[in-house]
A and B are shown apart, each in its own frame.
Chain A
Amino acid sequence: MVPRTPPEVGGMGHSVKRKEDARFIRGKGTYVDDIQLPGMLYLDIVRSPLAHARITKIDTSKALAIPGVLAVITGADLAKYNLHWMPTLMSDTQMVLPVEKVMYQAQEVAAVLATDRYIAADGVDAVEVAYEPLPVVVDPIKALAPDAPVLRTDKTDKKDNHIWHWEWGDRAATDRAFAEADVTVRQDIYLPRIHVASIETCGCVAHFDRVADKLTVWMTTQAPHAIRTVFALVAGHVGLAEHKIRIISPDIGGGFGGKVPVYPGYVIAVAASVLTGKPVKWVEDRMENLQADSFARDYHMTCELAARKDGTLTALRIKTIADHGYADAAANPSKFPAGLFHICTGSYDFQAAHVEVDGVYTNKPPGGIAYRCSFRVTEAVHAIERMTDLMAHHLGMDPAEFRLKNFIRPEQFPYRSALGWEYDSGNYAAALRKAMDRIGYAELRREQAEKRQRGELMGIGISSFTEIVGAGPSKHFDILGLKMFDSAEIRVHPTGKVIARFGTRSQGQGHETTYAQIIAEELGIPVADIQVEEGDTDTAPYGLGTYASRSTPVAGAAGAMAARKIRDKARKIAAYLLEAAEDDLVWEPGRFSVAGAPHRFKTIQDIAFAAYTNHPQGMEAGLEAVSYYDPPNLTYPFGSYICVVDIDKGTGQVKVRRFVAVDDCGNIINPMIVEGQIHGGLTMGLAPALYEEIAYDENGNIQGGSFIDYLLPTAVETPRWETDKTTTPSPHHPLGAKGVGESATVGAPAAIANAVVDALWHLGVRHVDIPITPAKVWKLLREKGVSE
């Protein structure tokens, strides 16, 4: 796309350097832990060493004897205010602090309030808790057995560990298609529990001002407005009204979904501040972050694919057991307990499909949130892309040819999928062909054949994913009843400078720059003259926040629409100033001129000044607008990724030699930022494919609870990503944009897994669950008798 604005304006298509960088490179950002208020107290949390146990005693006396320890807060204390339980976003309940039982290892048991963070930690060590162990349920499949201990005894009517059953699609048509199929394949696929592990952990500073009767919370949250409403609803009975609550989401050190939920630590800090009238800081450490905050995935899927002999895909069937831990604390739109998992027909044209998901309770931390992904889309993409590859290999077809044969064709858009989604636009073959050219696919296949002769293990993996982002049309999407629109408010000052506020919250995506570029595009005002603010509920318009790649699709669209309202008013003012009819005016970025007389013009800056100094009679003064944008549909970014792996037969190590990513996110606002998002997303795709997993032993002890054994890729493991793009605009988004922050995380793991299986197929390997660790591969190689 050729930019319509000059570089000094910096509208869409310019790689404008980021405005936010100025503070970050000087160490002048303000993250939650940077906030220090006079008289501030520190909160630290006592956690359970056991995965399931009855609490028989909490002895706080030794802790309280430590100078500087002011209080030890227990579940019994919170119960007095009915704050010991809280609702989750999925209408389940979870404990703030337990009164009776702990349900997972590292669960909050009590909180120590002290004058200093070291003293608070001393206090935590000194609290003595006596437990009576209870039987631990770790495996969600065993949790469904009739004789399994029932975990949620707090729910008096609950007789098992089954949370919900959800299904979608046409079961009868799918069964018929399978019965009629020439070929079917079936595979169990497990997507393990993982954690977003943003480098900044979670925390808050809660400050209840008794004089103003107002609560201010600086909080690591991706959705400050929704959080304010939740606080008002949950704590209304203790006198917290919504206009007396201010949530500030300051600079956020990465979110990726992990900063959507409300964690017990926030609630305890708020309660402690309300009770003491002092500011209270709670910041979790890394181990608490990994061990207790919401996890992602943990999907046990059984996938089946049906096809005709000629390689035409006909039907898809998936059954899933979703391990939610002891509470369903996912962050999905209310209607969809399995999120957007039913995007699982992916990029292919199916006759029929059917999916079933069952949510299950186990003795693990609650969650089911995203890992840089739009509501379970990675699970869906992994299933379909692994299965497509399996079918192609099974039929002896090249996986690229097989995909090209089965893709939804460009002329089929808008396309209604077998599971009911209406895909807005796409050109899947173009993206795959571009990736094949870029990586030299045919040549690589030749190299692979030669290497195989010599006994070397090399694999080529493809993933041609379709994403579904930008929730959502409010008809179908809400969180706790709050419709998933988003908002922008733009004010043009008399001198033509702008302040714009949005309902979202950047966590590194660069909103201060991209949103300014959207306004620059629409109004022709230079990016340098536009200040963007988000994250303060006292000043920003209400919005649902930043997750599921919804900022550009929803809030970005709101920005464009608000700017267009301003332009409409500016046209009226220009007509008045130029003494011309509105219809005779021509807009080009930054000015209105009279048609046929280009020297008669008014710049947007002239018009802004007139809006406050010389506006037409009968018109309101000022130049500002608000938009609450409710998207007519979701957007469907897509892409094709191809990677090459080499496998070391001595160690089982998988090395990603090359990785080409061709993404299509529609029209691009800032190419530099988009590329950066893709690099980051790819790395968060590599991570669970090869390294990251949070596992539990049979007693519910966590493995992967610190950076010692939860392995984030460093610069050494991360390949040099090669990126490219195609551009298929969204037909319904005002700017033709689609959203991109998560595409790569969603698409990359399947490409890597497919490459590994491709390398080992001739040995009889049909599937490997991620993370594909050296130990796992080495074991396989040994079984097949080829390890060295």
Chain B
Amino acid sequence: MMRVQLTVNGERHEVEVEPRLLLVHLLRDVLRLTGTHIGCDTTHCGACTVLLEDRPVKSCTVFAVQANGKRLMTVEGLERNGTLHPIQEGFVQEHGLQCGYCTPGMMMTSYAFLKRTPNPSEDEIRHAISGNLCRCTGYVNIVKAVQYAAARLQEGGA
């Protein structure tokens, strides 16, 4: 067992883990942050995407111990003090989700992408989310949701 310290959504945690424990299982099963999902075993679907030191990672492909001493953000950290992040608003307003299973990963990828690329083209958005699979929406409205968030963030929405 190894001791891991990490900050998730601003909250500090210290846990004992097996070295082989995946980050996604630490988040879901140990810390009970179940908004981060699992959709594959080959790092293709992106349902497990979280931010590790502000960079999107597929948490099914990171060991919990690799997050030692690091800062993480999950879908549960998007809403601040009861205010939705524009990316969350965008998904609702543009009907960017159906079953909701891919949604947390999509939003985390988009969140990080918009920080890097505040004024993206449609093509850039499509490439940015191409590591996240959605089986329900056909992506058109996800693209619109990201555009909505980009516009809101430009206005200084959050």
Q: Interface on A for B, CB 8 Å cutoff?
A: 17-18, 20-31, 33-34, 36, 117-118, 196-201, 251-254, 256, 285-287, 507-510, 672-673, 675-684, 706-708, 712, 714-716, 718, 720-721
Contacts and interface: CB of A to CB of B under 8 A. Distances in A.
B99 interface: yes
B139 A26 contact: no
A712 B93 CA distance: 26
A22 B104 CA distance: 12
Nearest to A686: B138
Interface string B2-25: 000000000000000010110001
Contact of A286 (B39, B91, B100, B131): B39
A254 B141 CA distance: 17
15 contacts: A17-B92, A26-B88, A118-B18, A200-B37, A287-B41, A508-B98, A508-B99, A508-B101, A682-B138, A707-B45, A714-B130, A715-B129, A716-B127, A720-B122, A720-B140
B138 A718 contact: yes
B133 A712 contact: yes
Contact of B44 (A196, A707, A716, A718): A707
Interface in B97-149: 97-104, 107, 122, 125-127, 129-143
Closest 3 CB pairs of A and B: A27-B35, A508-B99, A24-B100
B41 A680 contact: no
A665 B140 CA distance: 21
B98 A509 contact: yes
A681 B44 CA distance: 21
Interface centre among B92, B98, B101 (most CB of A within 10 A): B98
B155 interface: no
Nearest to A708: B42
B101 A254 contact: yes
A27 B130 contact: no
Contacts of B40: 285-286, 706-707
Interface centre among A28, A287, A678, A684 (most CB of B within 10 A): A28
B53 interface: no
Contacts of B93: 17
A663 B32 CA distance: 43
A716 B32 contact: no
A673 B138 contact: no
Contact of A680 (B76, B84, B137): B137
Interface of B: 18, 20-21, 25, 28-29, 32-42, 44-45, 47, 74-76, 78-79, 84, 88, 91-93, 95, 97-104, 107, 122, 125-127, 129-143
Given A118-B21, A199-B99, A721 B41 contact: no
Contacts of B122: 720
Contacts of B142: 715
Contacts of A34: 28, 34
Given A508-B136, A672-B95, A676-B98, A200 B39 contact: yes
B99 A507 contact: yes
A444 B141 CA distance: 27
Nearest to A119: B18
A26 B78 CA distance: 8
Given A18-B95, A36-B29, A676 B143 contact: no
B32 A286 contact: no
B105 to A, nearest CB: 9
A669 to B, nearest CB: 14
B37 A31 contact: yes
Contacts of A24: 97, 100, 103
A426 to B, nearest CB: 25
B101 A253 contact: yes
Interface centre among A21, A198, A199, A720 (most CB of B within 10 A): A199
B135 A36 contact: no
Given A201-B39, A285-B41, A684-B135, 15 more contacts: A18-B95, A21-B91, A21-B97, A33-B34, A199-B45, A200-B101, A253-B101, A254-B136, A256-B135, A673-B95, A676-B137, A714-B129, A715-B126, A715-B132, A721-B140
A678 B76 CA distance: 30
Contacts of A720: 122, 140
Contacts of A254: 98-99, 101, 135-136
A36 B32 contact: yes
Contacts of B133: 199, 707, 712, 714
Nearest to A20: B100
Contacts of B36: 27
Given A17-B93, A24-B97, A29-B100, A253 B37 contact: yes
Contacts of A31: 34, 37, 101
A679 B99 contact: no
Contacts of A676: 95, 98, 136-138, 141
Contact of B41 (A18, A26, A510, A706): A706
A201 B45 CA distance: 12
Nearest to B84: A25
A462 to B, nearest CB: 20
B42 A707 contact: yes
Contacts of A21: 91-92, 97, 100
A719 to B, nearest CB: 9
B88 A198 contact: no
Nearest to B32: A36
A118 B20 contact: yes
Nearest to B142: A715
A716 B142 CA distance: 12
Nearest to B103: A24
Given A18-B92, A508-B136, A683-B139, A199 B42 contact: no
B34 A680 contact: no
Given A118-B21, A254-B136, A712-B135, A27 B34 contact: yes
A714 B126 CA distance: 8
Interface centre among B28, B127, B137, B143 (most CB of A within 10 A): B137
Contacts of A721: 138, 140
Nearest to B35: A27
A29 B98 CA distance: 12
Nearest to B106: A715
Contacts of A17: 92-93, 95
Contact of B98 (A27, A196, A680): A680
A199 B29 contact: no
Contacts of B78: 25-26
A639 B102 CA distance: 29
Contacts of B102: 199
A388 B37 CA distance: 44
Contact of B47 (A20, A199, A287, A683): A199
A256 B141 CA distance: 20
A27 B92 contact: no
Contacts of A36: 29, 32
Nearest to B107: A25
Nearest to A508: B99
Contact of B143 (A286, A287, A715): A715
A252 B76 CA distance: 19
Given A200-B101, A680-B138, A26 B47 contact: no
A26 B140 contact: no
A135 to B, nearest CB: 31
A201 B126 CA distance: 25
B91 A25 contact: yes
Contacts of A28: 35, 76
A33 B27 CA distance: 13
